[in-house]
Amino acid sequence: MNRRHTLLLLGAAALFAATQPVASYAQTSGEPIRVGEVNSYTGLPAFTIPYRQGWQLAVEEVNGAGGLLGGRKLEVVSRDDAGKPDDAVRVAQEMVSNEKVALLAGTYFSHVGLAVADFAARNKVPFVAAEPLTDAITWTKGNRYTFRLRPSTYMQAAMLVEEAAKLPAKRWATVAPNYEYGQSAVSWFKQLLQEKRPDVEFVAEQWPVQGKLEAGPTVQALAAAKPDAIFNVTFGADLAKFVREGDGRGLFRNRPVVSLLTGEPEYLEPMKDEAPEGWIVTGYPWDQIDTPEHKAFRDAYQARFKEPPRQGSVVGYTTFKAIAAAIDKAGSTDPEKIVDALSGLQVTSPFGPVTFRALDHQATMGAYVGKTTVKDGRGTMKDWHYADGAKYLPSDEAVAKLRAE
């Protein structure tokens, strides 16, 4: 009951904050620097609201420290894209022509991110894609104006392959949502794992519709193939169903599971004490990371929003810290100068230093790789380590070739 009220209040507070010009916390002067922000707030509130709180914190910190470019404050115009690429493009157009924003940021879904990236290239506006995971946004469909913060599908798969290759398992089964994210995750996982372990074979694959997993039949079909291990890409409600049904039918008995993103609190915590035990995952053990950067962030976040940070909070926070750093480095709001500043930009994120690579505009932000466990009635991670994104990218030549296509 309490949490519900908190969420409601937070929603209202966030709404208020989003529709009001950001209050200035220090003496700032001159015209504000405006950033256009678009995300799927109504479509995926569970992920995008922590994200929004993250960037609100970053903006408040930037303005509290005196703003940018000699005291101009950072102002964010934030909009909902309803989860649709065509709406996102219209909103981007509105923010560029009416709100005079200097750059664009945000998006969650890959296709929405790609649509805005193409718009950015066409209109020569810098765009920092925060959450989309698709490899295409920085590689095959990458462009001069688009940058991406989060580790891509390829990077996350590569981090997990490193661990998967250590397992004795030879027969693998995969289950992934039936769209680009699931497909490219599975194909990278297969390719990279077989490079390291030529003796591995893939014996079954399931492609449930995103959001409509038929848990019983899917679990049964996977079990029938008698795999040694399972690679899972499903998430959210599908994952909860899969875990429940798999548990009930003994699918995970003596069978390691390697699972993408499952360690992120957004996905792990709703499962409460039913979170899977011992899955090898990428994620974010927010309560256990005690580096000074992360502690400072976590304390500030909890003080401001009275709830623990999520993966999205880190992404939102770091995106806007990077934007502030880029504007600072560019010394102006000129789009071309901001793009040049973003290329090769180094910022300190709660996860440690991150570089936006000049080569492909992919940030080297990493993820935490570890095992899931249940502690005090909720899912968390153990035996984790930080996998620096820079180490899980293909060679520069390979990337250059992908971008040239």
Query: Per CB under 8 A, which of residues 44..63 are in contact with another protein?
Result: 44-46, 49
Dig out the tokens for 248 from the structure. Answer: 């009930």
Applying CB under 8 A, the span of 55-63, 100-108, 159-167, 212-220 interacting with another protein comes to 212-220
Contact residue for another protein among 42, 288, 302, 332 (CB under 8 A): 42
Angle at 330 between CA 324 and CA 334, to 5 degrees: 100
Applying CB under 8 A, the span of 15-23, 63-71, 298-306, 313-321 interacting with another protein comes to 15-23
79 binds another protein (CB under 8 A): yes
Contact residue for another protein among 67, 106, 151, 208 (CB under 8 A): 208
Contact residue for another protein among 30, 70, 216, 353 (CB under 8 A): 216
Dig out the tokens for 98 from the structure. Answer: 């009416």
Q: Of the two residues 7 and 390, which places its CB atom closer to another protein in the complex?
A: 7
The interface with another protein within residues 118-147 (CB under 8 A) comprises 118-119, 122, 134, 136, 141
Shortest separation between residue 106's beta carbon and another protein, angstroms? 14
207 binds another protein (CB under 8 A): yes
Strand partners, 80: 39
Contact residue for another protein among 57, 102, 215, 322 (CB under 8 A): 215
335 binds another protein (CB under 8 A): no
Shortest separation between residue 275's beta carbon and another protein, angstroms? 10
The interface with another protein within residues 232-291 (CB under 8 A) comprises 236-237, 240-241, 244-245, 248-250, 269-272, 274
User: What's the rounded Cα separation, in Å, for the pair 26 and 124?
Assistant: 32
Residues binding another protein: number (CB under 8 A): 72
The interface with another protein within residues 364-403 (CB under 8 A) comprises none
Applying CB under 8 A, the span of 28-36, 82-90, 255-263, 387-395 interacting with another protein comes to 82-90
Contact residue for another protein among 162, 205, 277, 307 (CB under 8 A): 205
Shortest separation between residue 104's beta carbon and another protein, angstroms? 14
Shortest separation between residue 187's beta carbon and another protein, angstroms? 11
Contact residue for another protein among 53, 63, 107, 110 (CB under 8 A): 110
7 binds another protein (CB under 8 A): yes
